[in-house]
Amino acid sequence: MGHGCVHGEQMEQVAIKTKLGSSMRFTPTTVGGAKVIDPILREDSRGHFFRAWCLREFAEHGIDFIPVQGNMGFSLRRGTVRGMHFQGEPALEAKLIRCTRGRVFDVVVDLRPESPSYCKWYGTELTADNGRMLYIPERCAHGYQTLEDGTDLFYLTSQYYTPSAASGVRFDDPAFKVEWPLEVTVVSEQDRNWPLMSGRILQ
């Protein structure tokens, strides 16, 4: 599928003005509809507090996301890659990703043929310290690489896990050319063997 695809790269984020009283800062990415969401910390002598999700603020930024399920993934080893995963019809899902321990390089790939960013990817570092989140729209694939041993990832989904709709694309598919920051040291057999994009029609 390399022909006609726009290959994604990490790019400077476009800063957008944060509304007075907002608890999160939303930044668009090179993948249409995907957004980086940075919390605005409230700090005092005890430590800090931040909001991890807000229906109203998400709606104000054009994100229609109501989570129905939460999941956690633990990876033992630095360099582990999980992905690239998505759900197709009739169980399309959006995801909101954050790291709760350690560090990950989190990636979204656009699988929507009608999208201006089709086949483009975007990656950003999520850590337990920065509290950053990445919003993954429907019909986009998600994956990540751990940057530290003993890393936890927590994510909310807009759809229930549906095995018959679960699918994936290869983390090393030449149609995307995702630039993983570390050597890929651990990956599941399933993730190694997703079919290449060439010749696939995704719904």
Reading the chain (203 residues) residue by residue, the pLDDT tens digits are 334 444 444 333 333 444 445 788 999 999 999 999 999 877 778 877 777 888 999 999 999 999 999 999 999 999 999 999 999 999 999 999 999 999 999 999 999 999 999 999 999 999 999 999 999 999 999 999 999 999 999 999 999 999 999 999 999 999 999 999 999 999 999 999 999 998 666 65
Cα(12)–Cα(9) distance, integer angstroms: 10
Q: Which domain holds residue 113?
A: 24-41+49-192
Answer whether residue 34 is part of any domain: yes
Confidence (pLDDT) at 50: 79
Answer whether residue 18 is part of any domain: no
Percent helix / strand / coil, the chain, rounded to 5: 5, 35, 55
- Assess contact for 10 and 123: CB atoms under 8 A: yes
Q: How many domains does the chain have?
A: 1
Answer whether residue 13 is part of any domain: no
Q: State the number of CA atoms in the 13 A half-sphere of 167 facing the CB.
A: 22
pTM of the model: 0.87
Answer whether residue 156 is part of any domain: yes
Phi, psi of 55 (to 5 degrees): -55, -45
Confidence (pLDDT) at 130: 93
Choosing from 85, 122, 142, 144, which is the catalytic residue?
Answer: 85
Confidence (pLDDT) at 87: 97
Query: Would you say how long the chain is, in residues?
Result: 203
Cα(13)–Cα(99) distance, integer angstroms: 20
CATH code where residue 31 lies: 2.60.120.10
Closest CA to 131 of 95, 103, 93: 103
Answer whether residue 179 is part of any domain: yes
Choosing from 122, 135, 144, 155, which is the catalytic residue?
Answer: 155
Confidence (pLDDT) at 7: 43
85 is catalytic: yes
Answer whether residue 2 is part of any domain: no
Sorted by sequence, the CB contacts under 8 Å of residue 27 that are 6+ apart come out as 13, 14, 15, 16, 35, 36, 37, 38
Answer whether residue 8 is part of any domain: no
Answer whether residue 202 is part of any domain: no
Torsion of CA 69, 75, 79, 81, to 10 degrees: -40
Task: State whether residue 57 is helix, strand or coil.
Answer: helix
Confidence (pLDDT) at 17: 40
Confidence (pLDDT) at 46: 86
